[in-house]
Structure 1
Amino acid sequence: MLLRKLLNVRYSCLVRRWASTDSLSLQNEKLQAYLESLRQEYYALRVNAAGNSSLYERLSRLDPVVNSLEKHRALQRNITPKQELAAEKDEDMRALMQEENNVYADLLRKQEEDMLQELLTLADNVDYPALIFEVKAGAGGQEAMLFAQELYDMYTSYFEHMGWEYEEFAYETTDIGGLRHANLLVSDPEAYNWLRYEAGVHRVQRVPTTEKSGRMHTSTASITVIPRPADVHVHLTDRDLKIETKRASGAGGQHVNTTDSAVRIVHLPTGLAVECQSERSQLKNRELALKRLQAKLMQQQLESAEASKQATRKSQQGNLNRNEKIRTYNFMQDRVTDHRVQQGGTLHNLSGFLAGGQQLSVLIERLQLEQRKSKLVELLETWQAPQEAFEKKLN
């Protein structure tokens, strides 16, 4: 009983019926309560985080949000309340007080924008030292493979534009310059936060060069982004592998018909199988196939770890992550449209966009903002104030 009374005193300001205003407005009581809980967590961590790397990392993440909150509260204290303004009988003094209030109001709006940006980043920011980036042709035959190659070129140019290191470990092409499938390892702690929302089905609408009647075709390619945590490792042992060699098929001249350079590896415990024939050397193909197998096993580990959380999310929200188009590249209208961005999701100058430079960054930043807002709204909908959560456990 005593514990309950103490908690009631400590968190009385948090336990309210939340206002029905915009959940991302600082006038929203639930958002205010959430910010206050972060502030309390921050000051508790300042006392206890010494010598604990995970707590110190959380403290570092909270620091910009709480500092911004404290600045906001300091500005609020400088604003003269309406009652005092109304009570001031000197008109000149009242006008001066109102002018000061207007200045502080402008500063408050700017501070609110900065705080919301910090809060959005906190709600959605994760760190992975590297990621596996996959490009794969989808529906549309040869045209889809040509489009997949264009996406591959766009993203590798973007990696270079951002200064990220990357390594190609699977690359299967067609004899007309298309791409069936490619895997790359991108090594940079910032890469995942920039590329995570690029995953999905990309659609192209254009008239193929082989189309004689001038009809527009629709083809697809898919992008997969697999985070690679520092603490996830895949160890392959020879006894768990079945390695087969065969002659490569497709383009390659006489070499294809005379050398068993293609490699197929089966991971016996899981049944996963990969093939590689992109290189002339059997040894090189074996090395690439092993890397590809490691990537698949790592993806399986990550999906298994996330399975329960994803199942809960889908049961509450429906199938929000269904495999549908996320972006359309329309060559006839010279535009690219991201279907997840409500405002500013369409850019023109498609050739410039496919160059993989600043235009792609602009669209990714807009997309990040949309997705981070959605995640913060979702977090606030399910978040409970500490006292509310405690009472729920008691009941």
Structure 2
Amino acid sequence: MKKISLIHKLEISKKNFLEISKSITQPDIISNSKKYKILLEKYKKLKKIVSSYEEYNKKLVYLKEINFILENDLDIEMKEFAKIEKYNILENLSSIEKKLYQLVFFSKEEHVMEEDYRKEAIVEIRSGTGGDEACLFVEDILRMYTMYFKKLGWKYKIIYAQKGGIKGYKEIILEVNGEKGVYGNLKFESGVHRVQRVPKTESQGRVHTSAITVAVFPKVKDIEVNINLSDIKKDTFRSSGSGGQHVNKTESAVRLTHIPSQITVECQEERSQHKNFEKAMIILRSRIYQNEKEKRLAKISIKRKSLVSTGDRSVKIRTYNYPKNRVTDHRIHKSIYNLIGFMNGDIQEMINLLKFFEKK
């Protein structure tokens, strides 16, 4: 019964694929960039299904030929060969079937998670408890990430930065671009990062505990999140960041508020109000997308480690203990006794372990 249902779904997918294949070549579709992009995405997804389905059907035809040989051929050697081939074909068919079930019956939310893995990312780092020490740790974590990006050949841009009282940052937001699944690696960094060390301002050598928060969102395109401009309240103000005399003369900084969700973002890194608006929209779009995704995931049950993949920013995920040269991830109870290396961007070992535990 399951196989009949699968074949039925596959035939529908094949029919839709043929229809879309014709549609995307039509001049009126090509001229409508938004519609064309949406159809092209559907075309790519259906092509994977149809290609696997065609391969499946070829294997079935070959299986019939092998069965005919087994039933009718008198040559013993040929029959022995056919037996081996039949075993291999049945293995292949089973593998393709599993792949097709996943492609056809995989829930929309799980597809979204899989696609998100390959996306680029928005990374937000904010100081929490600990005053100036927390601001300094934001800067340290920023350095850790940028060194990690360099190892993987990723590029990053600072979208927003708010300096700390003495040094460091109260908040910094990055756009991270590259291959090899940027968001799929960085998503595990969302949460509270706690540091235990002796602050430079501490005269008696006492260890203090401070905390910062990291939030990682998949960077999304405008076609993935439909935002009505009428739902956005735009405010402008004078930048408090770098920029020389310019910051005191023009209101180039931009604050956007998405009225339905009450999500607010600011950007003041650029000298142009227009460029700040564009950057703020990138952050806003990603936050809205993440907000909607979390709502969907709350409604479904997926086999996953709850704390490993929720990205909850209120959860304490990691402690960096300087006196003991130790970094501990509390979600998987893993400690690495090479804090210096870790802070120099050697974080892939921990990320790989988090990926492993998420899939268990």
Using structure 1 for the length normalisation, give the TM-score.
Answer: 0.56
Q: 2:169 aligns with which of 152, 167, 179?
A: 179
Corresponding residue for residue 224 of structure 2: 232
State the one-letter code of the partner of 1:367.
L
Shift of 1:217: 1.1
Corresponding residue for residue 214 of structure 2: 223
Partner SS for 1:126: helix
1:288-367 to 2 correspondence within 5 Å? 288-309=279-300, 323-342=314-333, 345-356=334-345, 359-367=346-354
Q: 1:138 aligns with which of 121, 128, 134?
A: 128
State the one-letter code of the partner of 1:192.
Y
Report the number of matched residues: 272
Partner SS for 1:127: helix
Question: 217-226 or 40-49: which moved more?
Answer: 40-49
1:74-223 to 2 correspondence within 5 Å? 126-128=114-116, 129-174=119-164, 176-187=166-177, 188=179, 190-223=181-214
Corresponding residue for residue 27 of structure 1: none
Instruction: Check conservation: 1:131, 1:192, Cα contact below 8 A.
Output: yes
Q: Considering Cα pairs closer than 8 Å and 6+ residues apart, tell me whether 1 or 2 has the greater RCO.
A: 1
Q: 2:278 aligns with which of 268, 272, 287?
A: 287
Shift of 1:360: 1.0
The 1:46/1:227 distance shift into structure 2, 3 A limit, reads: same
Query: Among the aligned pairs, what percent are the same residue?
Result: 37
Instruction: Check conservation: 1:169, 1:291, Cα contact below 8 A.
Output: no
Question: 267-276 or 205-214: which moved more?
Answer: 267-276
Partner SS for 1:192: helix
Q: State yes or no: 1:263 paired with 2:251.
A: no
Distance 1:331 1:198 in 2: 19
Shift of 1:213: 2.0
State the one-letter code of the partner of 2:285.
Q
State the one-letter code of the partner of 2:340.
S
Distance 1:320 1:287 in 2: 29
State the one-letter code of the partner of 1:219.
S
Instruction: Check conservation: 2:161, 2:241, Cα contact below 8 A.
Output: no
The 1:200/1:57 distance shift into structure 2, 3 A limit, reads: farther
Distance 1:233 1:162 in 2: 28
The structure 1 segments of at least 4 consecutive aligned residues displaced by more than 6 Å after TM superposition are: 40-50, 58-61, 122-125, 250-253, 317-320
Deviations 1:181-222 (A, max 9, x none): 222333436223222222211111001111122211111112
Shift of 1:132: 2.2
State the one-letter code of the partner of 2:358.
Q
Shift of 1:319: 12
Deviations 1:234-288 (A, max 9, x none): 4453x44333233344787765554434332333444433333344544443333
Corresponding residue for residue 370 of structure 1: 357
The 1:320/1:306 distance shift into structure 2, 3 A limit, reads: closer
Task: Please report the RMSD computed on the Cα atoms of aligned residues, expressed in angstroms.
Answer: 4.2
Using structure 2 for the length normalisation, give the TM-score.
Answer: 0.61
- Gaps spanning 5+ residues in structure 1: where? 1-6, 12-36, 62-114, 374-395
